[in-house]
């Protein structure tokens, strides 16, 4: 019996019509799912409704200056005076400084100087640190640098800058009311028995001596000691800065050494200047005002170099 070929022909026609429809549906699905990057990770449509916050901008500074050449020669000579016994080569070696070991010159560098004088030993160091945030989606380089600065400020046991209460001048030793309770000079006369005030003793006649009156002490001829400035937060130096002043303990043979450390931040870079003065013999204390002034002048010059 013969087979009718018509059903086979209709089936083939129906398959040709179905295949283009499947291809069109696949293309529509692919277009709706979006694009993929080279790793096959989907990326969001920039015109879509959802948006993510832009990452924080990198810090202002991408590199660091050479610390051994950061300070000018005139300022180094003022902080580290060389003796006349040094040769020209020794002077050049002194002011050239010694670079600290560094594994990344764009992240952390430093330099040190050491001068021996008849008056004592002088040490100076300058350090630059560029802070980088590894998660700029939440923290910028500047914010990360400020976190490092706050840790150093806290380690120095210094308070954050702000208004602080201070005693009113001339209030004396009393509890805030200015009353002198010590009975020393300037205190009111004590009341006599019965509540009345005892009259002051009569003045001696000219030329007569009072056997009970002690002789007046001779005025002291010693000069007034310079006041200690101490550690504190500084203003007008970089974005924020503080000064840490330390005086070593006195010894029987060793003199007290004063070390002044200044730390300031400018954008994402932290700068540390440390200046130490140790007299050659005991009994001499380096003045805080002079030591701090020299260290601060160098720190100010370095801050101005970063702002250029």
Separation of alpha carbons 248 and 229, rounded Å: 16
Domain ranges of the chain: 69-157+229-306
The residues, any chain, with a CB within 8 Å of residue 116's CB and separated by 6 or more, are 83, 122
Question: What phi, psi does 299 have (nearest 5°)?
Answer: -60, -40
- Give residue 276's Cα distance to chain centre: 18
Which of 175, 203, 174, 167 has the alpha carbon at shortest distance from 188?
A: 174
Extended beta strands in the chain, E state: 98-99, 108-117, 120-130, 232-234, 240-247, 258-266, 269-279
* CB-CB contact of 89 with 77 (8 Å): no
Report the length, in residues, of the chain. Answer: 308
Residue 160 token pair:
């954050």
Its pTM stands at 0.63
Indicate the burial class of 116 (C-beta count within 10 angstroms; 0-12, 13-18, 19 or more).
middle
Cβ neighbours of 270 (radius 10 Å): 21
The residues, any chain, with a CB within 8 Å of residue 85's CB and separated by 6 or more, are none
Separation of alpha carbons 283 and 267, rounded Å: 43
Bridge-based pairing state of the strands 258-266 and 269-279: antiparallel
Cβ neighbours of 9 (radius 10 Å): 10
Per-residue pLDDT of the chain in tens (308 residues, 90 and over written 9): 454 554 544 444 444 444 455 444 444 444 444 444 443 333 334 444 455 667 777 889 999 999 999 999 999 999 999 888 889 999 999 999 999 998 888 899 999 999 998 888 999 999 999 999 988 788 999 999 999 999 999 999 987 765 433 333 333 333 333 333 333 434 444 444 444 444 444 444 444 444 444 444 444 444 455 667 889 999 999 999 999 999 988 776 678 899 999 999 999 999 999 999 999 887 788 999 999 999 999 999 999 988 87
């Amino acid at each position: 019996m013969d087979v009718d070929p018509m059903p086979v022909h209709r089936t083939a026609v129906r398959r040709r019509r179905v295949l283009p429809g499947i291809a069109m549906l696949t293309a529509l699905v692919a277009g709706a799912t979006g694009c993929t990057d080279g790793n096959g990770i989907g990326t969001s449509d920039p015109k879509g409704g959802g948006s993510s916050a832009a990452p924080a901008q990198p810090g202002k500074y991408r590199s660091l200056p050479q610390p051994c050449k950061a300070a000018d020669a005139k300022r180094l000579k003022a902080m580290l005076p060389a003796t006349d016994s040094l040769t020209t080569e020794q002077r050049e070696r002194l002011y050239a400084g010694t670079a600290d070991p560094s594994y990344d010159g764009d992240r952390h560098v430093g330099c040190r100087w050491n001068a021996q004088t008849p008056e004592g030993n002088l040490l100076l160091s300058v350090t630059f640190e560029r802070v980088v945030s590894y998660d700029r989606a939440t923290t910028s380089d500047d914010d990360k640098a400020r976190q490092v600065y706050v840790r150093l400020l806290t380690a120095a046991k210094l308070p954050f800058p702000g208004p602080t209460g201070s005693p009113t001048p001339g209030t004396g030793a009393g509890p805030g009311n200015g009353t002198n309770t010590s009975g020393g000079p300037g205190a009111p006369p004590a009341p006599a028995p019965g509540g009345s005030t005892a009259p002051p003793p009569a003045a001696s006649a000219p030329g007569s001596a009072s056997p009970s009156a002690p002789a007046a002490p001779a005025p002291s001829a010693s000069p007034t000691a310079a006041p200690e400035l101490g550690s504190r937060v500084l203003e007008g130096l970089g974005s924020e800065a503080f000064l840490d002043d330390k005086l070593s303990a006195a010894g029987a043979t060793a003199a007290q050494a004063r070390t002044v450390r200044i730390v300031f931040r400018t954008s994402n870079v932290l700068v540390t200047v440390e200046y130490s003065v140790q007299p050659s013999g005991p009994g001499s204390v380096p003045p805080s005002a002079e030591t701090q002034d020299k260290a601060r002048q160098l720190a100010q010059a370095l801050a101005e170099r970063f702002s250029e």
